[in-house]
């Protein structure tokens, strides 16, 4: 029995932030029904790459869900949705604020139908503030939130983080909000609204960038693969490629010095503490650069791992999906999709001592419409046929 077994979710969201939240809840055992537009479905069903006409992008973030098509712009579609809300615990949506209200399906309406409902809304800028009605995409938020300004190499152009981190972080925070609201509901018996903004989520990820600016007044800038406060904690060029070395404290610095055959550097007055290494960074970096260039990445990995110094090659994705630790943790899983056949995707990173999440396939568009409407609303075959013919489902 997974932690969210018995929790039922209506997922109206599209593309990434909202669907990622719904995927987390589904992985943890929730019964998640994805409400999609008849005929087209989620926009991401049209994003490549495709396998037998099915989007691998969509499949990777909508697994373990059921697909129901429902036209929320039609009066009958709205009434069906309201009836479903009576039977569900959570609604997830990522429309622009005001959209659900225009449909007559905002939180104020739905909580009167089901006072225990958790309404989780993720959007670019949240439900308050002067930007609340602006559209947003990941790159826009990475730029506006300052993340791009500290990403990249010194002197280079501001750089977008390689993954859609603004969307993904928003999905994670939204899932956390849902879990917190469910715990609160156990005490109060009442539901709540969770309001998570992409911009807020990126600002929350800035960790020491804002702290450094507020304390020092200095504007954080891109540092490449360097850490701004820990030394050495970055990439170095070996004979045949780059290696990451992370000496996160003075003890690890001493181990690194012994491993590279320069034990005297551990007590060198220029480098004895992390603060001193930061003050004398250029000197330290040149010494390490000259030494690391003398061996291959594989040779250094063996030496440093034996010495207990955190290190890693910079793996490409083909190496990640075959990495023994990744595979041992079931982080690359095989899923059999009804149309696409067997595909691989990332597993769930949350593990339990009792039972780990099971990863099932993403649904075909409208695959479960009849099943869900029959089970929860008792709609018969004749009525389902009429609703389908009229474009309601």
What amino acid positions are annotated as catalytic residues? 227
d(CA 5, CA 90): 13
Token pair 């013919």: residue = 389
For residue 189, give the DSSP letter: S
Nearest to 361 by CA among 45, 101, 50, 62: 62
Please give the Cα distance from 76 to 115 (Å, whole number).
22
Least Cα distance to 246 among 304, 182, 324 occurs for 304
Q: Which helix (H) or strand (E) holds 125?
A: none
Residue 266 in tokens: 């551990």
DSSP annotation of 44 reads G
DSSP characters over 54-115: EEHHHHHHSTTEEEEE--TTSHHHHHHHHHHHTT-SEEEE-SPTTHHHHTT-SHHHHHHH-T
| Dihedral angle sign, alpha carbons of residues 11, 17, 23, 24 | negative
Rounded Cα gap, residues 231 and 257, in angstroms: 13
What one-character DSSP code corresponds to residue 349? S
Hey, what are 230's tokens?
């820990």
């Amino acid at each position: 029995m997974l932690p969210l077994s018995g929790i039922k979710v209506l997922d109206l969201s599209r593309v990434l932030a909202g669907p990622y939240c719904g995927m987390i809840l589904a992985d943890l055992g929730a019964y998640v029904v994805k409400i999609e537009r008849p005929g087209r479905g989620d926009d991401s069903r049209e994003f490549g790459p495709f396998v037998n006409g099915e989007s691998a992008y969509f499949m990777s973030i909508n697994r373990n869900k059921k697909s129901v098509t429902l036209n929320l712009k039609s009066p009958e579609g709205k009434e069906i949705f309201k009836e479903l809300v009576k039977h569900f615990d959570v609604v997830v949506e990522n429309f622009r604020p005001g959209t659900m209200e225009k449909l007559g399906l905002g939180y104020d309406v739905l909580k009167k139908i089901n006072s225990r409902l958790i309404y989780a809304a993720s959007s670019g800028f949240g439900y308050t503030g002067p930007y609340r009605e602006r559209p947003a995409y990941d790159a826009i938020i990475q730029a506006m939130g300052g993340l791009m300004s500290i990403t990249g190499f010194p002197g280079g152009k501001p750089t977008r983080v390689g993954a859609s981190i603004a969307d993904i972080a928003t999905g994670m925070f939204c899932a956390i909000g849902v879990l917190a609201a469910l715990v609160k509901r156990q005490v109060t018996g009442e539901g709540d609204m969770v309001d998570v903004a992409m911009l807020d989520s990126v600002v929350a990820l800035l960790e020491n960038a804002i702290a450094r600016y507020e304390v020092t007044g200095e504007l954080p800038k891109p540092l490449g693969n360097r850490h701004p406060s820990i030394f050495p904690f970055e990439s170095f060029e070996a004979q045949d490629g780059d290696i990451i070395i992370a000496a996160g404290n003075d003890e690890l610095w001493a181990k690194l010095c012994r491993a590279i055959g320069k034990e005297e550097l551990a007590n060198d007055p220029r480098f004895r503490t992390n603060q001193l290494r930061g003050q004398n960074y250029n000197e330290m970096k040149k010494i390490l650069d000259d030494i690391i260039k003398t061996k291959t990445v594989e040779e250094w990995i063996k030496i440093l791992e034996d010495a207990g110094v955190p290190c890693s090659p910079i793996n490409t994705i083909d190496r990640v999906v075959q990495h023994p630790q990744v595979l041992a943790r079931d982080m690359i899983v095989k899923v059999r999709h009804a149309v696409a056949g067997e595909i691989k995707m990332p597993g769930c990173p949350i593990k339990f001592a009792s039972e780990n999440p099971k990863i099932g396939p993403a649904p075909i568009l409208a695959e479960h419409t009849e099943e869900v409407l029959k089970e929860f609303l008792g709609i018969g075959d004749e009525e389902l046929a009429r609703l389908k013919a009229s474009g309601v489902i």
